[in-house]
Amino acid sequence: MRKRSVAYWFMLPAIILSVIVMLYPLVWSFYLSLTNYYFLDEESTQFIGLRNYFDLFQDPTFLLAFRNSMLFIALYVPSMVVLSTIVAVLLDSIVIGVKAYRTLIFVPVCIGLTMATLMWVWMFADDGIVEVIMTKLLHLPPIEWLATDTSTVVTAVIVTIWKFLGFNTVLVLAGLYAIPKDLKDAALIDGAGPWKRFTNVTLPLIKDSLALVIIMSTISSVKAFEQIWAVSRSGGTVDILYTLMYKTSFRYFEMGKGAAIAYIMAAMILVVSYINIRFVRTEV
């Protein structure tokens, strides 16, 4: 018992630090979301309950940003799951040069997101390499990649996939490497083809890795900032929830409403994470 009490005393500084750094900001920001706190006029702050949340869902600017965020999630998450799985399966089947391929696929992860976004913006410009290939070589009609909200979000999704594909591929590869070789050999002996082996053996056993990819991709989608900010020319008219939260809090100084947006984003992440965890537990 005495040794256990000593251990608690050693844990106390870390617990206190966690409360100060994590718990207090969470509680304080949630309280701010229930007030009309305005940074330039703190004395007029009043508790208004859930009015910020109700007002946001009646605000056309917020609804457009919410729609853009949902579009980002709908395009990015399924694409990332499918592409990372395909690339991981291909890398798992390669015998020669697998280390070189793994390194190449991971290189974009090491590049700064803002720098990568600006590089892709240059490539998507009217005289960029993508437009030249499409119009000159493939004889396709030109595409205005940054002309509308939808096209801007699609461009940002492409950049984000290129940036994080290597990271998510490694997550799926970890699940593939954990599959016992005996199961693969048994399926091969039973005469199962590549597709049957993948759907009946590989896919069920990498379900945990795919759930992690879905959760991480959802978090990346909701928290997307640099790519949208850079693509829309340093915070132009195109917003998703994260950029709108930044503008609301630090441009317009409406801290209460900005905190409410932040908690709406957190709720979206929690819902997706909960669904994934329940799905994984149900299938085990």
**pLDDT, tens digit (0-9, with 9 covering 90-100), for 220-278:** 898 888 888 888 765 567 889 999 999 999 988 999 999 999 999 999 888 888 887 77
Point out the least confidently predicted range of 13-27, 71-85, 184-198, 240-254: 184-198
Q: Quick one: pLDDT band at residue 283, thresholds 50, 70, 90?
A: low
Residues 241/232, Cβ–Cβ less than 8 Å:
no
Place domain 34-283 in its CATH homologous superfamily.
MetI-like (1.10.3720.10)
Residues 244/67, Cβ–Cβ less than 8 Å:
no
Average pLDDT over residues 195-209: 84
pLDDT of residue 43 exceeding 90, the answer is: no
Name the residue among 210, 181, 174, 170 with its Cα closest to residue 87. Answer: 170
The gap from C-alpha 261 to its chain's centroid, in whole angstroms, comes to 17
The set of residues, in sequence order, having a beta carbon less than 8 Å from that of 225 and lying 6+ positions away, is 242, 243, 246
Name the residue among 235, 216, 72 with its Cα closest to residue 154. Answer: 72
Count helices and strands (H / E) in the chain: 15, 0
Mean pLDDT rounded to a whole number for the chain? 85
Average pLDDT over residues 78-84: 94
- Tokens found for residue 18: 């966690």
DSSP structural state of residue 257: H
Return the H-helix or E-strand segment holding 59.
none
Q: Quick one: pLDDT band at residue 51, thresholds 50, 70, 90?
A: very high
Q: Provide the pLDDT for residue 13.
A: 84
Q: Quick one: pLDDT band at residue 200, thresholds 50, 70, 90?
A: confident
Q: Provide the pLDDT for residue 16.
A: 84
**pLDDT, tens digit (0-9, with 9 covering 90-100), for 158-186:** 999 999 999 999 999 988 888 888 877 78
- 120-138 burial code (b ≥16 CB/10 A, e <16): bbebbeeeeebbeeeeeee
Point out the least confidently predicted range of 97-106, 180-189, 275-284: 275-284
- 155-194 burial code (b ≥16 CB/10 A, e <16): bbbbbbbebbbbbbbbbbbebbeeeeeeeeeebeeeebee
- pLDDT over 70, % of the chain: 95
Average pLDDT over residues 22-48: 88
How far is it, in rounded angstroms, from Cα 88 to Cα 198? Answer: 12
Q: CA-based angle 43:54:66, to the nearest 5?
A: 110
